[in-house]
Amino acid sequence: MIVRQTLEETGLHPLNIKLGEVELAEAPAAPVLDTLKSKLEALGFELLDNQRQKTIEQIKSTIQRLIGQADLEDNHKFSALLSDALQKEYSYLSKLFSEVEGITIEKYVINEKIEKVKELMIYDKLSLNDIAFKMGYSSVAHLSAQFKKVTGFTPSAFRQLKED
């Protein structure tokens, strides 16, 4: 609602607004775009008018959505899922993501999965075995190794920290 209001105050007419995207009736002039950018930034939003940055945000939101579902198959392939979702070759997406973000998509996926694992450990009180299965890890050992590499803690040490 606040984004719609800000757009209308700036003299723009949104046709469609959804998370991370706005479709306008007409392309705004540069001064209007600058005003909109300032207003949105004051509200804590960022105007992404760069196509490369839009693609990066689409990659991130797609990965977060897929991981958020937290019922990943053991053989899921984020490369194929991203390619299908964004209708672009994975090699292009991967190269772009690495250039802009400074890490690979694979590392980003691992970091996001570990964040979800931490959330499941804290709030759902699931066993590590259940979490490993739910998150698509081949084994608890694989999950534990990635968890320690990312956080510096073993899953049990992390759980102990949260209980203290």
Please write the tens of the pLDDT for every residue from 29-81. 888 888 888 888 898 887 766 678 889 999 999 999 988 876 665 456 889 88
Q: Which ranges constitute the DSSP H helices of 15-164?
A: 30-42, 51-69, 78-86, 90-101, 105-119, 128-134, 140-151, 155-163
- Expressed as residue numbers, the domain containing 24 is 2-49
Stated pTM of the model: 0.69
**How far, rounded to the nearest angstrom, does the alpha carbon of residue 25 sit from its chain's CA centroid?**
28
One domain for residues 42 and 60: no
Whether residue 83 sits in one domain with residue 8? no
Same domain, 92 and 132: yes
Alpha helices in 102-139 (DSSP H): 105-119, 128-134
Residues 7 and 37 in one domain: yes
Residue tagged 């390619």 (tokens): 83
Segment 77-122, tens digit of pLDDT: 889 889 998 999 999 999 999 988 999 999 999 999 999 999 999 8
Q: Does residue 21 share a domain with residue 59?
A: no
